[in-house]
């Protein structure tokens, strides 16, 4: 399913009519463990996805379905409280719909975070990772189908999806907060099943440090329409086959909750400096 320019504008106009002049400069799409940041916005205005034309509900556990607008760290932001995933059955155009709508509302920055499996054997669960690049072998792309040139070119450059200047900023933020921050390559798997041990071995050979089921579509769509992107992963578990225990969603959510305070400090500090 792809959308027309008219549809994106209908959603943007609907939001504009509820925001009385508020213009978000950054969009934050927060993965498991960080959704609470939306509750920390000053002067929040929440708009349920169901009130916005063409928006889809998020069905993932722990993900509320609303956009929250407000001020955080001195910046006017929009937070997606609940993101859409490919595994929920949405097309990647649907998954990334909000990114383009927020771009039409004037947002030029994206902070995107996730819970991910740790592929790098030298690291441990609980680590935070700056995403420096990604691998996506899944054939779908949010840009497949008719190109809308108002957003960006048919064949966009992908050599700096994760904005180098934001990577510097995140390294500095981590250092000043004394939070250890790994950096590496995030590999997208469509899910919803976790990866097999053989897939994780393959991912490692290909150069991945982390694996997960989100973030890459949003980052591609954001970069396509000229936004700057910061991507951060919370490595909630060692990826399949590294430890002799099965992966469970419960363990992932527990680990995400444990690291959430540190993670939110880092994200807030990055936002403050953007």
Contacts with ligand HPA by CB under 6 A lie at 115-117, 189, 194-195, 211-213, 236-237, 239, 247, 252
**For the chain, how many helices (H) and strands (E)?**
7, 9
| Closest residue to ligand HPA: CB criterion | 117
Least spacing, CB of residue 189 vs ligand HPA, in Å: 6
Among 232, 236, 240, CA closest to 189: 240
Distance CA 45, CA 15 (A): 10
Distance CA 74, CA 77 (A): 9
Distance CA 192, CA 89 (A): 10
Residue (94 or 195) nearer to ligand HPA, CB: 195
237 — phi, psi (to 5°)? Answer: -155, 155
Least spacing, CB of residue 139 vs ligand HPA, in Å: 18
Name the burial class of residue 178, with classes exposed (0-12), middle (13-18) and buried (19+) by CB atoms within 10 angstroms of its CB.
Answer: exposed
178 — phi, psi (to 5°)? Answer: 60, 40
The DSSP bridge pattern shows strands 26-29 and 75-81 to be: parallel
Least spacing, CB of residue 186 vs ligand HPA, in Å: 10
Q: What is the largest CA-CA distance in the chain?
A: 54
Residue (111 or 129) nearer to ligand HPA, CB: 129
Least spacing, CB of residue 255 vs ligand HPA, in Å: 8
Least spacing, CB of residue 165 vs ligand HPA, in Å: 28
Residue (109 or 134) nearer to ligand HPA, CB: 134
DSSP 41: -
Residue (53 or 62) nearer to ligand HPA, CB: 62
Residue (219 or 252) nearer to ligand HPA, CB: 252
Least spacing, CB of residue 96 vs ligand HPA, in Å: 18
Residue (52 or 239) nearer to ligand HPA, CB: 239
């Amino acid at each position: 399913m792809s959308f027309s320019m008219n549809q994106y504008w209908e959603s943007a106009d609907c939001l504009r009519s509820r925001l009385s002049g508020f213009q978000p400069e950054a969009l934050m799409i927060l993965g498991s463990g960080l959704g609470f940041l939306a509750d920390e916005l000053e002067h929040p205005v929440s708009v349920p996805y169901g009130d916005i034309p063409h928006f889809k509900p998020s069905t993932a556990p722990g993900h509320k379905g609303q956009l929250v607008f407000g001020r955080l760290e001195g910046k006017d932001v929009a937070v997606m409280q609940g993101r859409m995933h490919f595994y929920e059955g949405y097309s990647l155009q649907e998954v990334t719909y909000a990114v383009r709508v927020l771009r039409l509302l004037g947002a030029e920055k994206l902070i995107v975070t996730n819970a991910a499996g740790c592929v790098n054997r030298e690291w441990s669960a609980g680590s935070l990772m700056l995403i420096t690049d990604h691998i996506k072998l899944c054939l779908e792309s949010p840009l497949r189908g008719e190109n809308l040139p108002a957003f960006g070119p048919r064949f966009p450059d992908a050599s700096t999806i994760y904005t180098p200047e934001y990577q510097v900023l995140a390294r500095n933020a981590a250092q000043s907060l004394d939070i250890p921050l790994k950096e590496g390559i995030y590999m997208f798997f469509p899910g919803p099943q976790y990866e097999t041990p053989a897939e994780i071995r393959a991912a490692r050979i290909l150069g991945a440090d982390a694996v997960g089921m989100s973030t890459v579509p949003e980052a591609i769509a954001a970069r396509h329409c000229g936004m700057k992107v910061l991507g951060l992963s919370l490595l909630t578990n060692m990826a399949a086959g590294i430890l002799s225990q099965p992966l469970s969603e419960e363990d992932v959510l527990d680990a995400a909750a444990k690291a959430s305070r540190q993670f939110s400090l880092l994200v807030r500090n990055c936002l403050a400096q953007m």
